Structure 1
Amino acid sequence: MSELLNVSASPHVRSKDSTKTIMRDVAIALVPAAGFGVYNFGMKALLVLVLSIVSCMLTEYIYEKLMHKKITVCDYSALVTGLLLGMNLPASVPFWMPVLGGVFAILIVKMLFGGLGQNFMNPALAARCFLMISFAKRMTTFTYDGVTGATPLYLIKSGEKASSVSDILSQNGTSVFDMFTGTIAGTIGETSVIALLIGAAYLLIKKVITWKIPVIYIATFAVFAMIFGGRGFDINYLAAEICGGGLVLGAFFMATDYVTSPITPMGQIVFAVLLGLLTGIFRIFGGTAEGVSYAIIFCNLLVPLIERVTMPVPFGKEGVKNEK
């Protein structure tokens, strides 16, 4: 009888969505940005992506095989983690780095905490931060068209406040339009905002994600940058800050992770606002020009607290909190 019936408490909600279909849609949505990254940075970028994906999937398979657990590698979650990790790496990294990052993401952050649904932070971003802390020079060396140089965000941060953003970028052979299309130095998957927005639109249409977290996140950061960035309402500066770095990639594809983001409506708003504030603090007042990865994993740690304080009171039960 136990093989025929699944007994559980109500309510019983059915959905056509599953982990496999959701992860498949996320992988499909990442294809435009990943494909542009390969076009932009060449075959080495493709090898970095492949090594990252394979290392994540193999690590999950080997761990579950050794621990005699159900093999879940076919649910595409490890594939998505590997793809996101690879897209967060420069194409110039040595090939052992995506392998090391993939093992760290799956084994340390995901499997040792119970597998999918139990990880306390985004595995791909945790691995990126691990690699950044351990191998900072390699993780911040960006090559474009065979020339090693700084990213546009770094140029803006280190440029004179008296100079316009357009002048700072043009002196280094780039522009805000280049940042939007993606023909700039950076990590493999973060450069093309157009490609990322195409993928984001696909996820929104498929209802895999909602607009709330990414839009509030980006809007909060834009307001923070306008107030504290030292350039006021400079549309070129704001556009460059939004298009540069991993903000769009992080907002639509990693901050919206089901496992590491709040499920309460108010919690999602609080989460997104905190992401925008922390990203602004790290970028404007921090020592580096980027801050998306650290902002997201830090807020991931706050999710249990955010959900606790934003949990709605059930209708008809204790309408006045703490009533004696």
Structure 2
Amino acid sequence: MAWVLVSLVPAFAWGVYIFGFRALLVVGIAVISAVLTEGLLNIAFGRPNSLGDLSAIVTGVLIGFNMPAQISLFIPAVASIFAIAVVKWSFGGLGANWMNPAMAGRVFVFYSWGAEMTHFTIPRTLIVDATSGATPLETVKSNLLSLTMGGPPGELAGGPMELLEKSGFPGSYFDLWIGRMAGSLGEVSALLLILGAIILTVKRILNWEIPLAYIGSFAFLIWLFDGIQYGNGAFGGDVLFHLLTGGLMLGALYMATDLVTTPLTKPGRIIFGLGCGLLTFVIRRFGSLAEGVSLAIIFMNILVPLIDRFVKPKRYGIQL
């Protein structure tokens, strides 16, 4: 767990840099709430102290990463308490939970305080006449809906980046790559999240199957189908835009790869990743939400026992 925290430092530092001290406060509240909840439950149930495994701290950091910088401070606290007390401890603690606690905490507060969870801060590194606004994904989704329903089809040509330009969003692919955009404070920089994932891969902590299957399947579906709605036809989707915006990189590299809530076998993990990619595409493309990562991962967490039932590990000592 210590190396997971180390790998998250670059993305966290970037979030503090572009969103200010408030980002540090949000993550701090989430971590403190998670640690206190874990400690109190250890005492209440007479369990050995489990704080040393650092799992509560990792959960708190990931919950903080999924929050807008200007969110009311009680919300990350509630998310952490729900994640630890309900999702993790009600099933027996670390190793017994069937759902990713941080992801579940994020979804719980999203549906409880949706307006707060979708009120994002414009990075101070962008020169704009606003302090808050929509993420690139939300901007594209809203523009796409308005143009599809009431605008000329020709206005859709060009894809997501052209819609961003029409809406006055001062973005470029470089801005999206480094994370100079509105969004949750820890998800915006794909570059630094990938850097963190490389650290975990080198340390043999991160398995490659789920991120590769997740990102690869999602990218293929976007490339194949997403361009149709812009008049670009099949195989004309803007893959780069969709990979660099929203919570895809954070979800694929850090949330979907939780060892406790993913399949046991390599083929099972590939199936899990493919399912996450498919569901994320379906929700982003056809759902009312601009994002679909959280729901996709939680749904696939639910299917893990079924995947493990049909894709069983090899039994050593038995000839097949």
TM-score (normalizing by structure 2): 0.89
More displaced 10-residue stretch of structure 1: 167-176 or 304-313: 167-176
Query: Which of 191, 205, 216 is the matching residue for 1:219?
Result: 216
2:174 corresponds to: 177
- 2:186 alignment counterpart: 189
* Cα distance in 1 for residues equivalent to 2:316 and 2:82: 44
Using the TM superposition, give the Cα deviation of residue 317 of structure 1 relative to its aligned residue in structure 2, in angstroms: 4.9
Q: CA deviation at 1:49?
A: 0.3
Please say which structure displays the higher CA radius of gyration. Answer: 1
State which of 140, 151, 159 in structure 2 corresponds to 1:156. Answer: 140
Aligned to 1:251: 252
The residue aligned with 2:291 is 290
Q: Distance between the aligned counterparts of 1:316 and 1:185, measured in 2?
A: 54
2:147 maps to what in 1?
A: none
Q: Partner residue of 2:161?
A: 166
> Quick check: 1:33–1:195 contact (8 Å CA) kept in 2?
yes
Q: 1:139 aligns with which of 105, 117, 128?
A: 117
Cα offsets for 1:198-231 (capped at 9, x unmatched): 1011000001012211011101001111222125
Q: Any conservation in 2 of the 1:217–1:251 contact (CA below 8 Å)?
A: yes
Aligned residue number for residue 93 of structure 1: 71
Q: What is the rounded CA distance, in whole Å, between the counterparts of 1:211 and 1:266 in structure 2?
A: 12
Q: Which residue of structure 1 lines up, in the alignment, with residue 235 of structure 2?
A: 233
Question: Greater CA deviation, 270-279 or 304-313?
Answer: 304-313
| Aligned length, in residue pairs | 296
Structure 2: tracts of 5 or more residues without a match: 125-129, 145-155
Shift of 1:314: 3.6
Deviation at 1:312, TM superposition (A): 4.2
- Whole-angstrom distance in 2 between the partners of 1:313 and 1:116: 25
Deviation at 1:266, TM superposition (A): 1.0
CA contact (8 A) 1:169 1:175 kept: no
The range that moved more, 158-167 or 107-116, is 158-167
Q: Are the aligned partners of 2:107 and 2:294 in contact in 1 as well (CA < 8 Å)?
A: yes
Give the aligned residue type for 1:150: A
1:1-324 equivalences in 2 (<5 Å):
23-144=1-122, 145=124, 147-160=131-144, 161-170=156-165, 171-229=168-226, 230=228, 231=232, 232-234=234-236, 237-312=238-313, 314=315, 317=318, 319=320
Q: Which runs of 5+ in 1 are unaligned?
A: 1-22, 320-324
**In 2, distance between residues paired with 1:131 and 1:60?**
19
Please list every run of at least 4 consecutive aligned residues from structure 1 whose deviation after the TM superposition is greater than 4 angstroms.
315-319
Q: What displacement does 1:313 show? A: 5.2
1:220 aligned partner, one-letter code:
S
**Aligned with 1:191: secondary structure?**
coil
Counterpart amino acid of residue 308 in structure 1: R
Q: Which amino acid aligns with 2:33?
A: S
Q: TM (normalized to structure 1)?
A: 0.88
Work out the CA distance in 2 between the residues paired with 1:68 and 1:317: 42
Aligned-partner Cα distance in 1 for 2:236–2:135 = 20
Distance apart, 1:233 and its partner CA = 3.4
Distance 2:119 2:27 in 1: 17
